[in-house]
């Protein structure tokens, strides 16, 4: 009887050992398929020596040994094994500090995949902090307060005769001042435009910067700003331009497009209601800009700021920005779609530069006299 029990225990031990070895081999195949076999081979060998470690523990070990930048092939290998991971969600973790709850909230607001959310939650250390959007918003508010106090006007500042004399405003008569194609984002037509842009920069731009980093979000924002001024110089050639709507709409449209394309995976609460409210607010801002451009409520000495920067920023966000937001922890330079968008954007910039050099004289555009 004891001999039979000993043989049964031996067979059970051998079966457990074989299962552990097969699990280790499967994990090794994951790593080799991702081109990271040499880096993770010691970890897998060490894991296979633990005969009673199941497959989920091995996958967890591999995730812990991942570097901070995962290649797309390795990420796919881990994602394919996600069904074997324990179904634990970050929302189920109690007793978190305010900082960890904030990081968890950002993860569920921005990232559509649970693996990415857990990875971001475990890796984010708050360094560097989201300085770009925060500092930019503060600078815009300070500049607006300075001009408001100087002009003694806080709403519809563009109607003041001295407002357009600012070296930061884009004016078609000063196209040779290259910095104006960027610095117009620091000027705003009034308190309502500044409040709208600052709110979106802090509520959407800061979380995006926390997840995707200052380089990617800064690049997307400035690409929207430049596309806005260049589009105005091509399509609305007599109009000046103020406001950060080009960059803001690039961020917002990219985020909204990412939410729509990953609707099932997003776990942000009331996402449909928030989507509708965001679209209504953005459409209202565009409508306000169109109304001020073509039906100014007050007499003015020249055309009012254009609204085309809103549309240009939205196009940049839906095209270039969507690729950036869908490439969390992936290298952009390894993606063909990214280079297609960069090449298209470069062609547009070159075309707009030549347009600004030659088209105004060839078409005989009557530019309002610069202030």
> In the prediction, which pLDDT does 82 show?
44
**Quick one: DSSP state of residue 165?**
G
What's the whole-number mean pLDDT along residues 236-259? 93
| Dihedral (CA of 281, 232, 192, 368) sign | negative
Place of tokens 């459409």: 283
> In the prediction, which pLDDT does 299 show?
67
pLDDT, tens digit (0-9, with 9 covering 90-100), for 141-166: 999 999 999 988 888 888 888 888 89
> In the prediction, which pLDDT does 251 show?
95
Share of the chain above pLDDT 90, in %: 44
What's the whole-number mean pLDDT along residues 29-36? 44
How confident is residue 125, by pLDDT bands cut at 50, 70 and 90?
confident
pLDDT, tens digit (0-9, with 9 covering 90-100), for 272-297: 888 898 899 899 999 989 988 888 77
Check whether 34 has a pLDDT greater than 50: no
d(CA 189, CA 179): 19
- 160 among known catalytic residues: no
Helix (H, G, I), strand (E, B) or coil at 279: helix
> In the prediction, which pLDDT does 51 show?
38
pLDDT, tens digit (0-9, with 9 covering 90-100), for 46-56: 444 443 344 45
d(CA 197, CA 246): 10
> In the prediction, which pLDDT does 58 show?
44
Helices marked H in 295-335: 308-316, 322-325
Task: Count H helices and E strands in the chain, helices first.
Answer: 17, 0
- 105 among known catalytic residues: no
Check whether 13 has a pLDDT greater than 60: no
Q: Which of 188, 212, 310, 319 is an active site residue? A: 310
**Average pLDDT score over the chain:** 79
> In the prediction, which pLDDT does 300 show?
67
How confident is residue 187, by pLDDT bands cut at 50, 70 and 90?
very high
- H/E stretch holding 343: helix 336-354
- Bigger pLDDT: 224 or 303? 224
Cis omega (within 30 of 0) on the bond before 342?
no
Q: Which of 245, 253, 306, 319 is an active site residue? A: 245
- Bigger pLDDT: 58 or 109? 109
Helix (H, G, I), strand (E, B) or coil at 255: helix
pTM across the whole model? 0.76
> In the prediction, which pLDDT does 19 show?
52
């Amino acid at each position: 009887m004891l001999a039979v029990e000993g043989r049964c225990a031996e067979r059970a031990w051998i079966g457990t050992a074989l299962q552990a070895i097969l699990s280790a081999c499967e994990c090794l195949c994951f790593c080799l398929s991702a081109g990271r076999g040499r880096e993770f081979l010691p970890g897998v060998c060490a894991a296979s020596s633990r005969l009673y470690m199941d497959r989920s523990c091995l996958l967890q070990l591999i995730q812990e040994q991942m570097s901070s930048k995962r290649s797309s092939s390795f990420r796919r290998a881990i994602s394919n094994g996600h069904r074997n991971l324990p179904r634990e969600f970050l929302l189920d973790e109690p007793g978190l500090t305010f900082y960890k709850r904030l990081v968890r909230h950002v993860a569920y607001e921005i990232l559509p995949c649970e693996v990415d959310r857990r990875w971001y939650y475990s890796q984010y250390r708050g360094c560097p902090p989201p300085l770009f959007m925060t500092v930019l918003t503060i600078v815009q508010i300070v500049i607006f307060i300075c001009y408001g106090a100087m002009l003694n006007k806080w709403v519809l500042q563009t109607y003041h005769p001295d407002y357009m004399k600012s070296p930061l405003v884009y004016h078609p008569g000063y196209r040779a001042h290259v910095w104006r194609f960027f610095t117009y984002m620091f000027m705003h037509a009034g308190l309502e435009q500044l409040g709208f842009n600052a709110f979106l920069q802090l509520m959407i731009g800061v979380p995006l910067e926390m997840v995707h980093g200052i380089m990617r979000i800064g690049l997307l924002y400035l690409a929207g700003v430049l596309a806005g001024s260049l589009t105005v110089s091509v399509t609305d050639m007599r109009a000046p331009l103020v406001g950060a709507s080009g960059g803001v709409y690039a961020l917002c449209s990219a985020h909204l497009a990412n939410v729509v394309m990953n609707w099932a995976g997003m776990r942000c609460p009331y996402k449909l209601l928030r989507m509708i409210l965001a679209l209504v607010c953005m459409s209202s801002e565009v409508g306000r800009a169109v109304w001020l451009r073509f039906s100014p409520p007050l007499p003015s000495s020249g055309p009012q700021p254009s609204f085309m920067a809103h549309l240009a920023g939205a196009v940049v966000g839906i095209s270039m920005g969507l690729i950036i937001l869908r490439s969390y922890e992936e290298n952009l330079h390894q993606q063909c779609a990214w280079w297609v968008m960069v090449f298209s954007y470069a062609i547009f910039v070159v075309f707009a530069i030549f347009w600004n050099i030659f088209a105004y004289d060839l078409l005989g555009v009557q530019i309002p006299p610069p202030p």
